[in-house]
């Protein structure tokens, strides 16, 4: 099967989208961006191809006549068990990396047994971690394994007298080796079949669907890259597109009525105007400063010792938003601590911070030409409810009623646009 792949290399995350030959989305993948951009692209691509294969399984089940509710149940269980198998395989790689690092470090030579015990405990927790209804704050291996490793390492340090700092240092080095291993087609086939074997009541049609999806070759007919780090992508120059063009085309593909696009990512904010074909007619971007972007929210989350995903819901509890004077990331911590020392509530401070970020975005929108119907909000910050509420209110106040589109897959908008360009390029060359 021929596919077209778009990759969006962002400052925080790298996204990939796989399209079928007919232009429909077949798979999506995301990973943490890292210093090795080629690896980040390969990992995101691998995750998108895994998702594509699960969608092939779903398509086969649709044709099998399986009841919709039963289909959803078995697919959810299959993917959950697959992710457990993938996690266990990564733990094996982590154990090898930890052992190798311990042998290289003279001061850690006595920690080999402790490291084996830590990883064994992490392996024993895998069933609970991927149990039905289990809550995970992140699906990235670094985050999943890191939180558990640190907790168990702390217990080992207290009970066995091991050096906690040394154990943490070993993990910080070893995790780089683990997260830089892209997912392979062969690994998918192995993990998904192990997952299927664990499902005692799986219908026969599921086995046939899994076999077909695992054995289907997914041949990349064309790939295009974009994003904040596009100049460092390991692609030929002709396979790279401006993120402005990709976000405009991607937003138009998701919502054909789109005329104005706002994208707030980790490192930049883009206000884009497009025509009825998704072609960019004007745009504005922030400067190199990260103020008003997702990275700023990341600094605030760190200062408050909260997860980034916790900021928006907490800000939504505000009853009296605080007026924020600056959204400069350099002074973010200082202003936050000053506000807290004055007795301001955390939720009121956060509500003010979110409004200040959106005010900066509104300035970009105004300079790009304003907000037209329909308006599409994309990027990682589009998942933040406080940012969405602030944006909706300010647009209503300044431009009146507008249709505002936000997709659950908004973070993939740039990668979708890149994949669409890849398809267009391939079709043009074939004509």
* Per-domain boundaries in the chain: 1-66+212-255+417-431, 67-202, 257-406
pLDDT classification of 341: cutoffs 50, 70, 90: confident
Looking at the chain, the whole-number percentage of residues with pLDDT higher than 90 is 61
Q: What's residue 179's pLDDT?
A: 80
Q: What's residue 387's pLDDT?
A: 92
pLDDT at 228 over 80: no
Q: What's residue 390's pLDDT?
A: 93
Architecture of domain 1-66+212-255+417-431: 2-Layer Sandwich (3.30)
Q: What's residue 96's pLDDT?
A: 93
* Token duo for residue 128: 């609970």
Q: What's residue 206's pLDDT?
A: 96
pLDDT classification of 247: cutoffs 50, 70, 90: very high
Q: What's residue 287's pLDDT?
A: 66
* Token duo for residue 46: 């691998």
pLDDT at 117 over 90: yes
Q: What's residue 95's pLDDT?
A: 95
Q: What's residue 19's pLDDT?
A: 98
Q: How far apart are CA 167 and CA 105, in angstroms?
A: 11
Q: Is the CB of residue 66 less than 8 Å from the CB of residue 205?
A: yes
The mean pLDDT value for 263-274 works out to 89
Q: How far apart are CA 343 and CA 339, in angstroms?
A: 7
The mean pLDDT value for 402-414 works out to 95
pLDDT classification of 194: cutoffs 50, 70, 90: very high
Bigger pLDDT: 236 vs 172:
172
Looking at the chain, the whole-number percentage of residues with pLDDT higher than 70 is 93
Q: How far apart are CA 322 and CA 16, in angstroms?
A: 38
Do the domains spanning 1-66+212-255+417-431 and 257-406 agree at the CATH topology level? yes
pLDDT at 263 over 90: yes
Q: What's residue 77's pLDDT?
A: 95
Rounded to 10 degrees, the C-alpha dihedral 310/316/319/321 comes to 80
Mean pLDDT rounded to a whole number for the chain: 89
pLDDT classification of 290: cutoffs 50, 70, 90: low
Looking at the domain 257-406, which fold is it?
Nucleotidyltransferase; domain 5 (3.30.420)
Q: How far apart are CA 385 and CA 380, in angstroms?
A: 11
Q: What's residue 340's pLDDT?
A: 80
pLDDT classification of 75: cutoffs 50, 70, 90: very high
Q: Is the CB of residue 350 less than 8 Å from the CB of residue 247?
A: no
Q: What's residue 181's pLDDT?
A: 74
pLDDT classification of 250: cutoffs 50, 70, 90: very high
Q: Is the CB of residue 9 less than 8 Å from the CB of residue 40?
A: yes
Phi, psi of 144 (to 5 degrees): -60, -50
Q: What's residue 275's pLDDT?
A: 97
pLDDT classification of 344: cutoffs 50, 70, 90: confident
Q: How far apart are CA 157 and CA 167, in angstroms?
A: 9
Distances (CA, A) of 271 to 176, 226, 245, 297: 35, 17, 12, 19
Asked which of 176-185, 223-232, 269-278, 363-372 is least confident by mean pLDDT, the reply is 176-185
The mean pLDDT value for 186-212 works out to 92
The mean pLDDT value for 115-142 works out to 90
pLDDT classification of 260: cutoffs 50, 70, 90: very high
DSSP, res 369 = T
The mean pLDDT value for 231-244 works out to 82
CB atoms within 10 A of CB 36: 14
Q: What's residue 289's pLDDT?
A: 58
Most confident of 100-104, 288-292, 423-427: 423-427
Asked which of 66-70, 300-304, 324-328, 329-333 is least confident by mean pLDDT, the reply is 329-333
Q: What's residue 291's pLDDT?
A: 55
* Token duo for residue 371: 């907000």
pLDDT classification of 329: cutoffs 50, 70, 90: low
Q: How far apart are CA 430 and CA 222, in angstroms?
A: 12
Q: What's residue 298's pLDDT?
A: 79
The mean pLDDT value for 169-183 works out to 84
Q: What's residue 183's pLDDT?
A: 62
pLDDT classification of 325: cutoffs 50, 70, 90: low
The mean pLDDT value for 322-343 works out to 71
Centroid of chain to Cα 78: 21
pLDDT classification of 162: cutoffs 50, 70, 90: confident
pLDDT at 214 over 90: yes
């Amino acid at each position: 099967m021929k596919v077209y792949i778009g990759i969006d290399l962002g400052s925080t995350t790298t996204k990939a989208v796989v399209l079928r030959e007919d232009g429909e989305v077949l798979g999506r993948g995301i990973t943490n961006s890292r210093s090795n951009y080629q690896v980040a692209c390969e990992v995101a691509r691998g995750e998108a191809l895994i998702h594509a294969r699960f969608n092939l399984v779903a398509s086969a089940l649709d044709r099998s006549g399986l009841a919709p509710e039963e289909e959803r149940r078995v697919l959810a269980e299959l993917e959950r068990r697959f992710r457990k198998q993938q996690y266990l395989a990564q733990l094996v790689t982590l154990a090898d990396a930890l052992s190798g690092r311990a042998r290289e470090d003279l001061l850690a030579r006595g920690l080999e047994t402790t490291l084996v015990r830590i990883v064994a405990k992490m392996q024993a927790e895998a069933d609970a971690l991927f149990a039905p209804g289990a809550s995970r704050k992140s699906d990235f291996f670094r985050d999943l394994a890191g939180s558990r490793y640190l907790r168990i390492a702390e217990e080992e340090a207290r009970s066995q007298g091991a050096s906690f700092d040394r154990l943490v240092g070993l993990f910080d080095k070893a995790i780089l080796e683990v997260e830089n291993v892209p997912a392979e087609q062969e690994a998918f086939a192995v993990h998904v079949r192990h997952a299927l074997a664990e499902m005692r009541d799986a219908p026969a049609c599921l086995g046939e669907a899994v076999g077909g999806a695992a054995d289907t070759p997914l041949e990349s007919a064309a790939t295009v890259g974009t994003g904040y780090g596009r100049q460092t992508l390991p692609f030929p120059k002709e396979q790279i597109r401006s993120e402005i063009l990709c976000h405009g085309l991607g937003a138009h593909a998701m919502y054909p009525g789109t005329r104005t696009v706002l994208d707030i990512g980790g490192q930049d904010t883009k206000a884009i105007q497009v025509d009825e074909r998704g072609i960019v007619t004007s745009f504005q971007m922030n400067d190199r400063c990260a103020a008003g972007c997702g990275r700023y929210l990341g600094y605030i989350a760190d200062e408050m010792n909260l997860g980034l995903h916790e900021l928006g819901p907490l800000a939504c509890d505000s009853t009296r938003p605080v007026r924020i004077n600056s959204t400069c990331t350099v002074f973010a911590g200082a202003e936050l601590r000053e506000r807290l020392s004055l007795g301001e509530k955390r939720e009121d401070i956060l509500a003010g911070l979110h409004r200040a970020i959106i005010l900066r975005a509104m300035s970009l929108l105004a300079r790009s030409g304003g907000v037209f119907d329909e308006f599409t909000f994309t990027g990682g910050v589009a998942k933040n409810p406080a940012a969405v509420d602030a944006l909706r209110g300010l647009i209503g106040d300044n431009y009146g009623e507008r249709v505002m589109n936000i997709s659950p897959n908004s973070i993939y908008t740039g990668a979708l646009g890149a994949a669409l360009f890849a398809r267009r390029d391939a079709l043009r060359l074939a004509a």
